[in-house]
């Protein structure tokens, strides 16, 4: 599907990655609706891109439904909004747990459910779900985040099959460690030893490729990290043992969890 001339709803537009996506989609001729929780950031961004701004908190079901209603008939959904959700599960309150599940998994599923029928009726459209390589390989202090991203990956591939032959595509874009913008970059932590990073522009390019080529899954990470997560996905017990023995990611994990605690 061509982005030029398409109507696009982008969630999580106020984050660093979201802003990069918004600018690139606008540059490619998309007619944008941007959504995020912070009107003070969202509205100036939308104005600069001649886009529409619809503030919404995706942890609130009525906000998700209102967003879908106000954006009925869009050609493309890019579900980018997410919470970090790092840290030990036993440190989470029930409310914090619910919020992570709502924003990271329930909201994109519900938006897809509410917006897809009009796409199917029109015989064209595309849904992009922004996942993470944490949806392929589990690691310490990310059990809740893993749960949402594993779930999103399963949904994306299953829903893609449900819509096969309708003219509507479903893609999953899964970044690794992203520098300069996004959840990981915002922590100020260093990637684990030996783990290379990618740029926001590479993630955005992955989104564009997913839409224009109707790709089922795009993994945006260096080859070695893609290989390691593929192995870990197939052999999780072995991968966990290796992680424990190496201890190479312990410091990075502690720094990330500390920096993201206030965002629950």
Least Cα distance to 198 among 222, 218, 219, 217 occurs for 222
Please provide the DSSP assignment of 5-63 as one string: T-EEEESSTTSHHHHHHHHHHHHTT-EEEE--S-HHHHHHHHHHTT-EE----TTSHHH
Least Cα distance to 142 among 233, 260, 235, 226 occurs for 260
Contact 228, 137 (CB under 8 A): yes
Question: Residue written as tokens 């061509």?
Answer: 2
Residue 157 has phi, psi (to 5 degrees) of -70, -40
Torsion of CA 228, 231, 235, 237, to 10 degrees: 0
Q: How far apart are CA 182 and CA 194, in angstroms?
A: 20
Chain-centroid distance of CA 148 in Å reads 10
Residue 249 has phi, psi (to 5 degrees) of -100, 0
- Burial string for 15-27 (b: 16+ CB within 10 Å, else e) reads bbbbbbbbebbbe
Distance (Å) of CA 131 to CA 40, 50, 121, 196, 229: 26, 27, 27, 18, 14
Q: Is 92 part of the annotated catalytic residue set?
A: no
Annotated catalytic residue: which of 145, 155, 177, 184?
145
Catalytic residues: 145
């Amino acid at each position: 599907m061509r982005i030029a001339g398409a109507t696009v709803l982008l969630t999580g537009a106020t984050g660093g990655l979201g802003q990069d996506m918004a600018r690139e989609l606008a540059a490619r001729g998309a007619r944008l609706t941007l959504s995020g929780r912070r009107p003070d950031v969202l509205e100036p961004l939308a104005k600069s891109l001649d886009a529409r701004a619809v503030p919404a908190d995706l942890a609130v079901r009525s906000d998700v439904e209102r967003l879908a209603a106000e954006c009925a008939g869009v050609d493309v959904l890019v579900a980018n909004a997410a919470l970090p959700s790092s840290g030990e599960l036993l440190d989470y309150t029930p409310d914090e747990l619910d919020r992570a599940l709502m924003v990271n998994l329930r909201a994109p599923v519900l938006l897809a459910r509410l917006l897809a029928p009009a796409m199917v009726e029109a015989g064209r459209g595309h849904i992009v779900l922004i996942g993470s390589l944490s949806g392929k390989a589990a690691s310490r202090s990310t059990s809740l985040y893993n749960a949402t991203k594993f779930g999103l990956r399963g949904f994306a591939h299953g829903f893609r099959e449900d819509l096969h032959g309708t003219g509507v595509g479903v893609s999953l874009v899964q970044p690794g460690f992203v520098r300069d913008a996004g959840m990981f970059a915002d922590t100020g932590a260093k990637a684990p030893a030996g783990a290379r990073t990618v740029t926001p522009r590479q993630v955005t390019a992955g989104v564009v490729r997913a839409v224009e080529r109707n790709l089922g899954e795009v993994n945006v990470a260096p080859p070695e990290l893609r290989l390691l997560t593929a192995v870990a996905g197939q052999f999780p017990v072995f991968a966990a043992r290796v992680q424990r023995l190496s201890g190479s990611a312990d410091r990075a994990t502690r720094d990330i969890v500390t920096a993201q605690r206030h965002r629950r």
